[in-house]
Copies of this chain bind each other. A is one copy, B any other.
Amino acid sequence: MTSTDWLAAHRERLDGALAAIRTRGYYSAFPESPSPRVYGETAAADGKTAFEAHLGTTYPVETPGANGTVSSEQSPYGLELNVQYPRTTESGLDELLAAAQQGLTGWRNAGPDGRVGVALEILDRLHQRVFELANAVQHTSGQAFVMAFQAGGAHALDRALEAVAYAYEEMSRYPAEATWEKPAKGDPIRMTKNFTVVGRGVALVIGCNTFPTWNSWPGLFASLVTGNAVVVKPHPLAVLPLAMTVEVCREVLAEAGLDPNLVTLAAERPGDGLAKPLAERPEVKVIDFTGGSEFGEWLEQHATQAEVFTEKAGVNAVVVDSTDSFKALCNNLGFTLSLYSGQMCTTTQNIFVPAGGIETDEGHKSFDEVGAGIAASIGKLTGDDARAVELLGGIVNPAVISRLELAPEYGDVVLASRAVKHPQYEDAVVRTPLVVALDAKDEEVFGRECFGPVSFLIRTADTAESLDLFRRTVAEGGAMTAGVYSTSADVLDQARDAALDVGVALSENLTGQVFVNQSAAFSDFHGTGANPASNATYTDGAYVASRFRVIQSRRHVV
């Protein structure tokens, strides 16, 4: 198989994605259900076995310039992972980056079709290992298995395919060859022009702990298919899913006769701070980052030799004005706060509710009753330990526990967090969400991100103040998501205007099986790039267009 054979083999999948990004309607290329009816009877067990085979071994991936190995992962479920990876240190960067650049000319010459063929084959092979990946994501991020399968597997593959589709469309805007014929006295002036897509150089992907694949793959694949080499620097606590990714990339590149060092893994020892020196290297022309605001802003301000795409932190908000379905509101918000213990960059932190309460289909509900309703929903969803752990997953790292322990002091506890005992993993760290009531004047608390299972129910004078606080906190602190509940067309209009003004995506009256913290690939944009929480979105034209340049040559037709 050559890379263009792969394009043909996966053409239908690509065409589906290309159609979807035009309509932004529903599309999925990778089934999200881990059911044996979809994936076969042995798929789950085989995947688990494949995952377990990595434990305590040295991962079979080579990194140029690496110096010894490093093992840094800690499963939130307490499972001993002890996987060794090649360790990259600052002194190995010359060798690593030289090796990364070695294959760039061949990669450029493969052309858009060849590169997209390679990427589609990589995605297909990652899909073949989706159960193994799901186990790896579960035991590094702490996501429960089904979520790890979906968000870390199928949905991540969809998001990666979305990025490939945008990049393919972007590269296809320019003809490979053009004839230019300018009318003139006598014969027209005729030229032939060639246009070549050229990557920017080396791209760096900096992974995060909570969504090692979902948040890394869009940038990785967007950079790769546009002709760049990619260095993947995983979070030290979530290496395995990206080591697998890099392994598959290298395997497919090598099969296509391309340089496997076009994709490399740069694993570091915790505390080495490898991302900074990597990001400052002149060879690095594109950077994708998911993580904290401080380092994200540092990258935006200092890695000015590179195109920098960041997803940082925010203060996601929901404005509650009124509802025609109070139970469904409580259930919907309760699920959002509980899923993965609120450790999503899209989880709602701030719920603005008027002090005087709200009108609902069940009559007037006081501020306290709204809090009690949401708390009751969470209680129901997480009351049974065995069921709870499948929704909550594990706490990703000790910093989350520290924040959770401090949070009750910020205000009045509406719902306390409790430790849940995992029936299968006795050392698993599992917590239910904490909900704290605050006043509008406590902006110093709710204006900052408190990442983890902590949400604030904020007492406002009225919906007008809720909307004001929504505007101000999102404009200043950023947000990945926002929601509004209202039966008033006026209030919905005001919320839409506010969302447009501060540049955040708005979910209105979610009372069913769609949640404010979830974004569907091909349809929902994730982040906007229009507020401080992120400077880019998954995925639009701006996400791909500057990852390559078009270089032309021209000559007269003779």
Contact = CB atoms under 8 A, between A and B. Distances in A.
A74 to B, nearest CB: 35
Interface stretch (A122-130, A195-203, A246-254, A272-280): A195-203
A37 interface: no
Interface string A519-558: 0100111001110000001001110011001111111100
Interface residues of A, number: 67
A513 to B, nearest CB: 6
A191 B556 CA distance: 54
Nearest to A549: B530
A142 interface: no
Interface in A474-517: 496-497, 499-501, 503-514
Point out which of A514, A528, A530, A551 has the most chain B C-beta atoms below 10 A from its C-beta.
A551
B514 A24 contact: no
A448 interface: no
Given A301-B304, A508-B554, A503 B25 contact: no
A24 B176 CA distance: 10
A481 to B, nearest CB: 11
Interface stretch (A39-47, A56-64, A180-188, A408-416): A180-188
Interface stretch (A167-175, A209-217, A236-244): A167-175
A232 B383 CA distance: 61
Nearest to A530: B549
B529 A23 contact: no
A550 B523 contact: no
A49 interface: no
Contact of A528 (B23, B509, B529, B551): B551
Nearest to A556: B512
Contact of A552 (B25, B506, B512, B514): B506
A556 B507 CA distance: 9
Contact of A26 (B180, B300, B506, B541): B180
Contact of A549 (B182, B300, B496, B537): B537
Contacts of A496: 553
Contacts of A179: 25
A19 interface: no
A304 B549 CA distance: 21
A193 interface: yes
Nearest to A170: B541
B551 A530 contact: yes
Given A182-B26, A193-B523, A514-B189, A505 B545 contact: no
B505 A552 contact: yes
Nearest to A192: B508
Contact of A545 (B182, B540, B550): B540
Contact of A500 (B25, B551, B554): B551
A419 interface: no
A22 B169 CA distance: 12
A488 to B, nearest CB: 14
A314 to B, nearest CB: 15
A179 B105 CA distance: 42
A445 interface: no
B551 A540 contact: no
Contact of A553 (B25, B300, B508, B545): B508
A53 interface: no
A178 interface: yes
A541 to B, nearest CB: 4
Contact of A513 (B189, B200, B505, B525): B189
Contact of A195 (B24, B191, B499): B24
Interface string A16-35: 00000111111000000000
A464 B25 CA distance: 54
Given A500-B196, A554-B508, A180 B304 contact: no
A10 interface: no
A108 interface: yes
A550 B525 contact: yes
Nearest to A555: B508
Given A550-B540, A553-B508, A554-B508, A503 B178 contact: no
B546 A180 contact: no
A523 to B, nearest CB: 5
Contacts of A510: 555-556
Contacts of A23: 175, 178
A552 B524 contact: yes
B500 A108 contact: yes
8 contacts: A25-B180, A108-B500, A189-B512, A189-B514, A506-B551, A530-B551, A540-B550, A542-B545
Q: 7 tightest CB-CB pairs across the interface, nearest first? A: A542-B545, A530-B549, A508-B555, A541-B545, A506-B553, A542-B546, A545-B545
Given A24-B174, A505-B552, 12 more contacts: A25-B178, A178-B523, A193-B524, A198-B530, A200-B530, A503-B549, A506-B551, A509-B556, A525-B550, A528-B550, A541-B545, A542-B546
